[in-house]
């Protein structure tokens, strides 16, 4: 029984590490997409960060199963007001990037 426990612990640690690494890759991809969108629309990404909102199983457009993740962020168009945005990934692909209605400076 002790031998089985000693084998399961490294396996569990490896699974946790893989899940964490996948989450970090996804968050970095989402942040890159948000930065690109903000730059293209002359918006300022506030705090230069994303906040994890939701994780669920979904499907790609072609029907394959994937993990979907949604993050929230804040941006400003004039530096005076904060607006909300959301970015959704399907696997490691951008699925949606939404910006709240905002004042165009």
**12 falls within a domain:** yes
Question: Given this model, what pLDDT does residue 102 score?
Answer: 92
Other C-beta atoms closer than 10 Å to the C-beta of 32 total: 11
**30 falls within a domain:** yes
Q: Which two tokens stand for residue 62?
A: 């072609």
User: At 2, is the pLDDT very low, low, confident or very high (cuts 50, 70, 90)?
Assistant: low
**105 falls within a domain:** no
Query: Domain range spanning residue 67?
Result: 2-99
**74 falls within a domain:** yes
In order of 5, 75, 86, 94, 95, the CA distances from 100 in angstroms are 50, 9, 9, 18, 17
- Any idea which residue has 């994937």 for tokens? 66
Which residues are bridge partners to 1 per DSSP? none
Stretch 16-27: mean pLDDT: 93
**104 falls within a domain:** no
Q: Based on the structure, what is the number of domains in the chain?
A: 1
Q: Which residues contact 57 (CB under 8 A, 6 or more apart)?
A: 65, 66, 67, 68
Convert the pLDDT of each residue in 27-63 to its tens digit. Answer: 999 999 999 999 999 999 999 999 999 999 999 888 8
Could you say which DSSP state residue 18 is in? H
User: Global pTM?
Assistant: 0.85
Convert the pLDDT of each residue in 75-98 to its tens digit. Answer: 999 888 999 999 999 999 999 999
**6 falls within a domain:** yes
**81 falls within a domain:** yes
């Amino acid at each position: 029984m002790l031998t089985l426990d000693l084998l399961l612990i490294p396996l569990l640690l490896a699974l946790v590490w893989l899940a964490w690494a996948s989450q970090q890759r996804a968050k970095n991809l989402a942040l890159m997409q948000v930065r690109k969108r903000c730059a293209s629309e002359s918006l300022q990404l506030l705090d230069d960060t994303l906040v994890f909102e939701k994780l669920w199983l979904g499907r790609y457009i072609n029907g394959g199963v994937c993990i979907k993740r949604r993050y929230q962020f804040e941006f400003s168009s004039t530096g005076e007001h904060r607006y909300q945005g959301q970015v959704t990934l399907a696997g490691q692909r951008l699925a949606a990037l939404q910006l709240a209605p905002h004042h165009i400076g």
